Structure 1
Amino acid sequence: MTWKTRLTVAVVKATLAGARDILVWDSELTGLHLKVTPTGKKSFYFYYRTADQRERRPKLGDFPALKPEVARTLAYKMKSEILHGRDPSGNRKAERADAATVATLLARYLSDHAEPHKKASSTKEDRRLINKMINPAIGSVRLKAVAGADIAALINALRETPVLANRVLALLSKAFSLAESWGLRPQSSNPAKGIQRYREKPRGYFLDDAETARLWNVLDDEDQAGTTGRSITAAIRLLLLTGRRKEEVLSLEWSFVDFDRGILNLPDTKTGRITVPLPGAAAEILLALKSDPEADPRWVIRGQIPGKHLVGIQKAWERLRSKAGLEAVRLHDLRHSYGGQAMALGLSLPQLGALLAHKSPTTTQRYAHFANDHRNASAELVDQRLAQITGRTS
């Protein structure tokens, strides 16, 4: 809705919010107008075109801090600059860009990119890296003055933790790329480009058959003794049997489980919506949980608080892994071990990537040595067969 009248305090107060933005144009000064949002916020703007016909709509201020008379005075001053060929709004943007710092850019990266487009967990990690690693080092540096040497020095300071260094580098590269698209830096000026990533050492522990059996026996003992909650031991068993991530198991809902088709429909994982197979042993565990009189109607792994799923498992895991003689093993290593078992059975890397729902083939490469071991074992079998055929004794 829009109309024209002379803007006064009485007019502004009388203009009530509607379902959409309301624009009230000033009849005295062309371009000056009041905008009232559906939330009731009232602000003054001044619309004009530059000498090269670019449209501008700078905000003058909010009512009641800014009265219509003062807004009109500000707009007249801007109009005078425009008549002399200047672009007051554009100049202000340029001044803000000149004064912007790395911290300014990263704040906008979080609000305009990470929060709308990335998962909450990823945004939380980005915010941690910004607050703990980046801003203390270069946050106060003027954005337009940042050079490759500044980024290289920061990354070099993190060389003892290559995974962390690479994550910081990737975040900065994306942020400075956005700075170019936002007009905060010249095109093709990304200072993070060309800085070499560190080689990352493969992380993760792969349980062998004996270690897996030990862990399973400890879980059996705990269930029989009743010293650990069934939700915890069931969650660990499911991690071992399905290769899923911890949060995918802990936040599993009964509506995600399709017993008839033998699948889990996971709507919100690290790689988006996925469907994964439900092995027979895992299905038996789920059926036992479902038949428990104290089962939660929504959550598979119920927590201590009614109506909530289990969240705190690390302390119990540390006790159980110690009992099994697996002090160095992380919960996430159960997923790695699942992948290792799959490779030992002859799955190809692409097949394993699909099974574990990896987003990038690079992630699956950590299991390549299992593929090599399988090929070596296959070659030995072929050699033995040829030895029989040719009569070789060795």
Structure 2
Amino acid sequence: MTQSVKLTKTYIDNLQASAKDAMSWDSELKGFGVKVTPKGRKVFLVMHRPKGHIGAPKKYTIGTHGEWTVQQARDRAREILTESSKGNDTGAIERADRHRKSSDILNDLADTFLKKHAAQNRTHDETKRILEREMLPKHGRKSIHVITKHDILSVLESIRDRGSPIMANRALAAIRKFMNWCVSRGIIDVSPADSIAHLAKETSRDRVLTPEETKAALLTARTIGYPFGPIVELLFMTAQRRDEVTGMRWSEIDLDKALWTIPAERAKNGKVHDVHLSKCAVALIRSLPRFVLTGKSKSDLVFTTTGETPFSGFSKAKNALDAKMLQAMRKQASENDRDPDQISIPPWRLHDIRRTVATELSKLGIAIHVAEAILNHKSGTISGVTAVYQRNQFTAERRDALDKWCDRLDMITLNDAANGVDNGPQYNNMMAQ
């Protein structure tokens, strides 16, 4: 290094450009200086040799005069030299950090997550839909290393603000699952979704359809047709979960034995579940069309419009079902000399069908442990060691219960007198799942 001088604003302002880079070194801090380029740019830099480093000194560019004051640049140079004395190369560390922040793009990570991890989970389709619809369009091109809590909150709040607060909670769960996977892979150290609370309070459901509503739902479902109509009917006939019914495969069904076997990978509790098919369910399934794929091979999916994926248009279909149910119930009221304008249907969801069936089974005298076995609850009246030995039992009882329920459904849909039947005590404690 050549002659040094205490660098000041006045001194640097008076420096002139020359044909080559010209250096001026600070007399106050060794290694700190300013470079004047042929185009007149004045750049602060510091030369340092990290402890243990063998070879030429390292150059760290701080920034240009004007963006940095002399004192700010000198203080930064002092920080670099302090780190260097510890063996740290600040420039190399920052370059590695910039490279890291330009890699691990969210779109790429989400693709790997959905293919290798989430695909093994029964909620894969919902997780995929949420990430691809809500998170990736806004932040998919960013590195995960720059994703902040604020970014995630902006996604969730936009969902809430369009009138879907519960979906915002579902989105948080999907995003949190993805971020936790990234943590487990060592891609990030801390999830930006940590400590984010649900945007909407969820309360336990206790909605049970009345016999009149059940009748309207079933009769309306028959007018809607395949695939959503039969899905609704089968939900009532079997009391299974929506995604389990919608994802039903022909290979899972033995109509001669009146048996539907839900494999472990599709069951919510991860256990194989045998569902007895009553005469109502067998007749319905026999009436369903079989989707033919290109090449005349048959799709294994029972409910599909593509042959490749299960039916998924629930929101629109459910709205249509509700509208037609209300229309039918008001028509019935008018025929019975009741004011149709006084008829309304409180909000309900397809999962409420399971609670409704549970309630009706209890009124039919079906034991709670048999009803729980039908619903395939992971925990219930029988638990612990006893459950291990009894998990394959109650087959005859379940078959008898669903056959009785089939007869009850026939009575509800065919006998107008059923409209006046008392709904009885609600059987809500079974519906935690």
Per chain length, whose mean CA-contact separation is higher, i.e. which structure has more relative contact order (CA < 8 Å, sep 6+)?
Answer: 2
**Structure-2-length-normalised TM-score:** 0.45
The structure having more radius of gyration, on CA atoms, is 2
TM-score, with length taken from structure 1: 0.49
